[in-house]
Structures are given as structure tokens and as C-alpha cells.
Amino acid sequence: MLWMFERAGKKSGKHKKYMFWQEDYHPLELTNPEMMQKKIDYIHQNPVKEGIVFEEQHYIYSSAIDYQDQKGKLDILLVC
């Protein structure tokens, strides 16, 4: 994955070596629990969509497993 971050960094004029996040961002106020849950689901699905894992709870750096009443690698605060 490091080579992907480096490739993205070389394409960007703002970064010296690596780029982890997208160039553009659009802040969004999460005004209700449904909206927040939708964004959490989107984040949890990213490793699946990229083909890193087959199921969201299998990505070890994700909080998806915590939302399924199990304990993940990191301590988190459930928001929904």
C-alpha cells in the first residue's frame, strides 16, 4: 500500500512524498443519527470496496467489528 501512497503523493502538488487522504474534501455536518450511521457504514465498507478484505469486520484497523458486539484492536467510543 505504501507504493500507492507514494504514487498519489507524486501526482499531487501539495505533498512532498506520500498522500494518504484525497486532495479534495467536503466538510459535512452530521445532524442526526441516521446520517452518522450512513457515514460510519461508508467508512467500514472502504476496505471491502478496495478488495483488501472480503468482509468489513476483517480489516484489523477498522472499528466495524466493534459495531458487531465484538472487540477490535483499538479502543473506540461507539457513536451510534
User: pLDDT tier at 60 (50, 70, 90 boundaries)?
Assistant: confident
DSSP string covering 22-68, please?
Answer: -S--------SHHHHHHHHHHHHHHHHHTTS-SSGGG-TT-SGGGGG
Q: How far is CA 71 from CA 20, 44, 60, 79, 80, in A?
A: 26, 15, 11, 15, 16
| Top-confidence residue, 76 or 25 | 76
Residue 52: is its pLDDT beyond 90?
yes
User: pLDDT tier at 58 (50, 70, 90 boundaries)?
Assistant: very high
2: DSSP letter: H
pTM over 0.85: no
| Average pLDDT of the segment spanning 3-14 | 72
User: pLDDT tier at 1 (50, 70, 90 boundaries)?
Assistant: confident
